[in-house]
Amino acid sequence: MRDTVRYRRGYPGQRDGQSTTILDFYLNRIASTPDGGAKIEAILADCHGDYELLAKYLSGYIQWLFPIREKGLAGDAPPLTKPEAEFMATNESVRGRVLRAYKMMLDFYGFRLACDETGEVERADESQYPRRINYLLMRGPCGKHQLHITRIIKSLGELGYQHFQRPLVETLISGGRIYDRCPAHYDGYGIVPLRMAKKSATRLWVHLVRDDNEHQDLCRMVFHKYREDIRGPGDDFSLTVAAPPTPLPTPHDTTSSKAVGLLDGLPVYAAANGCFKVRVDGEMRTLPAAAKPKIVMFVDEQQRPAQHKPTMQIIVKALTGNVFTLCVAPSDTIEDVKADIQHREGTPPFQQLLMFGGRTVGELVGPENERSLASYGIQDNDMLRLVEFMQIFVKGLDGSTSIKCVPKLNNAHKCTD
C-alpha cells in the first residue's frame, strides 16, 4: 500500500533525471522501442480497433503511451520525469494524443469515453463487451492486463487527466459486479482471475485516485457494495472509510459528538458504559457493548502511533526476471519487504527466499523475518534477489536432525553450523 500512498503524494523526495525521451515520443519525434517500435501517430492510427495487433505489441507500447514516474518491469521506456509531466499536462498537442491513446485502450477492454470533459466511461458494443472485458480477467504473468490498468490510472493523474481517474475506477468496480452472475467458466477463464480483477479494483485502483474527496467517496462505495464478498481475514475498512459529518451535540447527552464507526452504513456514536448509539429513521437507538464486533470502527488519527516514512529505495529481482524498486525505511523488517513483494509479484511470503550480497536474509518462516533491513546492512539502492530453494537435512553434532532451506545454485554447497 505504500506505493499507492507515495504515488498519490507525488513521489515526495524523488530525484528525477533530465531525460526528455517520453516527451519526444509524444511529440512524434522518436519511435518506441524495442519490438514493434513505432512513432505515436502510427500506433494510434494502426492499432485502434485492431485488437490482434494491439495485443501483440501492448506490453511494449503501454509504457510509452502511459508513462509514469516509476521504472517499468520490462521494456525500454524510461520513467517519466516531473518536468516532462508538467509540460505534457499543459500542451494541447500532447493532451490530444493522451486522450486518443486512452480511448484506444478503453475500446480494447470493451468501453468507450462517453464524455471528453468529465471522463465518464460506459460500455461500448454490448455484443462485444463480454469478450473484450474478459481481457482483464486473463491469466497472465502477474495479471499483466491488471498491471496495465494500474499504469493507465497512474498516468492519467500525471498527464493532466486526473479527473478521469474516478470515472474509470468506478466503472471497473461496477462492471466487475455484473460478472458475479456469469458462469464460473467463460471462454476458458474461470472465477479465480475474476476475483483477482475485483481485488485489483477494490484494493488497489481505488487508492490511486489522487483527489482526496473522490478517493474517500470511492472507499465508501467499495465498503457499502462489497464488504461481504471481498473482505478477507484481517481486512480493516476502518483505514479507508471516511467518517460522516460530525452531528451537533445534544444537551445533557453523554453520547459522543463524533461518529466512531459504521453499522450497515449508519454512523455509530460512543455512549456511556461501553454502549453505542445509532440514529435510525430519525430516532437515536442504543446498542449494547456486545454489538462492537459488528461495527466497522474508524481509526482515530490522533491515537494512531506515529509511522515512519520511507527514506530509501531497494531493488528487487524476482524469479520471473522482473526488476522493480520498493520504497522502504531501514527499520522495515524482512517480513515487511516480503509483504510488498507479494503485493507486486503475487508470491506468498513463505515461498520467498531472499539473498543479499551472496547470503540469505530472513527465512521462509520464522523469527529471522522480524529483523530489520538495517540489521543486515541493507542500504539505499541495494539489490535483493528472490532465489529458488531446496530443502536439505542437517545433522547436528548432538545427533539431532533438522531441515534447512538453502538456495539452489549451480555448484554444490557445504553447509556448516
Q: What pLDDT is attached to residue 244?
A: 42
The per-residue pLDDT for range 14-46, each reduced to its tens digit, is 888 888 999 999 999 999 987 678 999 999 999
d(CA 254, CA 286): 12
d(CA 250, CA 45): 64
Does position 305 have pLDDT exceeding 70, yes or no?
no
Does position 342 have pLDDT exceeding 90, yes or no?
no
Bridge partner residues of 372 (DSSP): 333
pLDDT band at 387; cut points 50, 70, 90? confident
What are the start and end residues of each CATH 3.10.20.90 domain in the chain? 312-407
The one-character DSSP state at 136 is G
pLDDT band at 134; cut points 50, 70, 90? low
C-alpha cell, 86: 508538467
pTM > 0.75: yes or no: no
Q: What pLDDT is attached to residue 159?
A: 96
Bridge partner residues of 326 (DSSP): 314
Bridge partner residues of 203 (DSSP): none
Q: What pLDDT is attached to residue 251?
A: 41
C-alpha cell, 315: 531493488
Q: What pLDDT is attached to residue 415?
A: 40
C-alpha cell, 41: 501517430
Residue 358 gets the label, from left (phi > 0), alpha (psi -120 to 50) or beta, of left
Does position 413 have pLDDT exceeding 50, yes or no?
no
d(CA 377, CA 375): 5
Of 34-48, 155-169, 329-343, the range with the highest mean pLDDT is: 155-169
Closest alpha carbon to 210 in 176, 168, 265, 253 = 168
Beta strands at 389-395 and 359-361: parallel, antiparallel or unpaired: unpaired
Q: What pLDDT is attached to residue 238?
A: 45
Would you tell me how many other CB atoms lie within 10 Å of the CB of residue 347?
16
Closest alpha carbon to 69 in 157, 164, 168 = 157
The per-residue pLDDT for range 109-124, each reduced to its tens digit, is 888 999 999 999 988 8
Range with the lowest mean pLDDT among 340-354, 382-396, 398-412? 398-412
Q: Does domain 312-407 have CATH number 3.10.20.90?
A: yes
Strands (E), 110-207: 111-113, 121-123
CB 6 within 8 A of CB 13: no
Q: What angle do CA 397, 399, 401 make, to 5 degrees?
A: 105
Please compute the mean of the pLDDT values over residues 393-403 and round it to a whole number. 66
CB 382 within 8 A of CB 314: yes
Does position 308 have pLDDT exceeding 60, yes or no?
no
Q: What pLDDT is attached to residue 183?
A: 38
Contacts of 213 (CB under 8 A, 6+ apart): none
CB 369 within 8 A of CB 338: yes
d(CA 154, CA 71): 13
CB 21 within 8 A of CB 346: no
Instruction: Mark 69-108 as b/e (b = at least 16 C-beta within 10 Å).
Output: bbebbbbebbbbbeebbeebbebeebbebbbbbbbbbbbb
Greater model confidence, 16 or 106: 106
Please compute the mean of the pLDDT values over residues 216-222 and round it to a whole number. 78
CB 386 within 8 A of CB 366: no
- Percent helix, percent strand, percent coil in the chain, to nearest 5: 40, 15, 45
The per-residue pLDDT for range 226-269, each reduced to its tens digit, is 653 333 333 344 444 444 444 444 444 455 556 677 776 567 78
The per-residue pLDDT for range 71-81, each reduced to its tens digit, is 876 667 899 99
CB 33 within 8 A of CB 22: no
d(CA 212, CA 192): 31
| Whether residue 34 has a cis bond before it, omega within 30° of 0 | yes
d(CA 398, CA 388): 30
